[in-house]
Amino acid sequence: MKQLTAAQFEQLRQLGSCTVANAIETFDARLRNEGFSDSRIRCIFEDFPPMVGYAATVRIRTSEPPMEGHSHYYRLDWLDHVSSIPPPRILVLEDMDKYPGLGSLIGDVHINILAALGCVGVVTNGAVRDLPAARAIHFQMFAHNLSVSHAFAHIFDFGKSVEVGHIEV
């Protein structure tokens, strides 16, 4: 994979989303109704600058309790996957529940872990939480909704294709 330079990333940050979409449409590389998120995903911090980076993909579930015990086993191997993606990183997280967004994996603890791993933000079809913690470190979030609870959030798998807001990543 050819990586972009820091200067190229900065040039991309200067472009608005609509400008990028207009440019891509001129290439006729895909249908005009593909390649962008639908209205289920919204920017949490509209006053933050544009977010640009490489995608680290994770799939979660939040609504189903574990078969035994009170919570799911917390796995750490997904963090190795995130670290394997070149920086700057963006976590693209698909909530695979029938009704995504009951609970949130992304809160103050994971915000700080992800930032320490070079992530600049997260995009999810599910929920996020702990907005003051994210704002304090300028960690951008795009999400379907907010949740006050983790519910039964747990990593299902990672490093595979995900679908978030009508986009396959």
Question: In the prediction, which pLDDT does 33 show?
Answer: 85
- How far is residue 92's CA from residue 26's CA, in Å, rounded to a whole number? 27
- How far is residue 110's CA from residue 28's CA, in Å, rounded to a whole number? 38
Report the 3 state secondary structure along 66-105.
Answer: CCCCCCCCCCCHHHHHHHHCCCCEEEEEEECCCCCCCCCC
Which has the minimum average pLDDT: 15-24, 54-63, 91-100, 139-148? 15-24
Question: In the prediction, which pLDDT does 128 show?
Answer: 98
Question: In the prediction, which pLDDT does 85 show?
Answer: 97
What's the mean pLDDT in 140-154? 95
**Which run of H or of E encompasses 55?**
strand 54-61
Q: Which residues pair with 157 in a beta bridge?
A: 59
Report whether CATH 2.130.10.10 matches the domain 38-168.
Answer: no
Which has the minimum average pLDDT: 31-45, 107-121, 143-157? 31-45
Using DSSP bridges, classify how beta strands 145-146 and 127-128 pair: parallel, antiparallel or unpaired: parallel
Q: Determine the distance from the C-alpha atom of residue 49 to the mean position of all C-alpha atoms in its chain, rounded to a whole number.
A: 16
For the chain, the structural domain boundaries read 38-168
Q: Per residue in 25-63, pLDDT tens?
A: 888 888 888 888 888 999 999 999 999 999 999 999 999
